[in-house]
Amino acid sequence: MSIVVTGATGQLGRLVIDALLATVPAQSVAAVVRDKEKAADLAERGVELRIADYDRPETLAEAFGAGDRVLLVSGNEVGRRVPQHTAVIDAAKAAGVAQLAYTGVLGGDEADFDLAAEHKVTERLILDSGLPYTFLRNGWYTENYTANLAPVLAHGVVVANAGEGRVASATRADYAAAAAAVLTGPAEEHLNRAYELSGDVSWSFAEYAAEVAAQSGQEIAYSDVPAETHLAILTGAGVPAPFAEILVDVDRAVGRGALARRTDDLSRLIGRPTTPIAETIRAALAVS
């Protein structure tokens, strides 16, 4: 039996591997990756590499073994994730895995924004498969915002179409730690459960702008603009139109309160408070 992480060279997958290696022997961890070279550092740490591709279902036949506890990290290609995830689910069922954990989205079936659609379909496919499951319904990553501080600092403004909506975000490392806890803890505690994972504290874009201003020493304003204006700004800055439309739709959802939901699931799983946004801003400014 192995603990298997798909998408293991991605931003979240790597952090899950790190969290696992802090608690279990490397020989019990396997990484499903497309590119062996990109995963060379994982192999050097003693992690088993299993080469497979979501887009090539035949390669997934050897990715999982009977009794494995598997984390399906959702694909990052919006519009292609349902067939990709279906291939993983089918392979996991054929192998007889003991647990299939999936990184979905906060709110599950209740999430009412476009980006949630493929996650909801995937959860239904997992339920229909009959596999023992754990749904890790991740809220927003704080890094979705702090990784893009350069234009904020350059223009002195945080632009969104979210009104006074709030976001209960946490860091990728927080969510990764929760995934590791679910994959290494007693199975009976986590099987056939859905965890709504969010940060302990929610924040508004005005508060975010104020914190960036306080830490950077610059004047940073929050500009709440109509959705159409925000879309034009994003596409004008070179963001591909389909992705820009997703970002605008997410902001609409923030304005409705869809990402402000707070539970104690995340902090309880990781055994500590979630990372404050001020700390993530400080780290981002240090490398900007």
Averaged pLDDT score across all residues of the chain: 96
Tell me how far apart the alpha carbons of residues 268 and 97 are, in angstroms, rounded to a whole number: 26
Tell me how far apart the alpha carbons of residues 34 and 49 are, in angstroms, rounded to a whole number: 10
pTM above 0.85, yes or no: yes
- Other C-beta atoms closer than 10 Å to the C-beta of 24 total 14
Query: What's the DSSP call for residue 255?
Result: H
> Which of 197, 100, 101 is closest to 141 using CA atoms?
197
The more confidently predicted of residues 77 and 273 is 273
| One-letter amino acid of 28 | S
What SS3 state is found at 21? helix
Given this model, what pLDDT does residue 197 score? Answer: 98
241-256 and 227-236 helices, crossing angle to 10°: 150
pLDDT in tens, 113-157: 999 999 999 999 999 999 999 999 999 999 999 998 999 999 999
- Other C-beta atoms closer than 10 Å to the C-beta of 41 total 11
Residue-range domains of the chain with CATH: 3-138+172-197 (3.40.50.720), 144-166+200-262+272-287 (3.90.25.10)
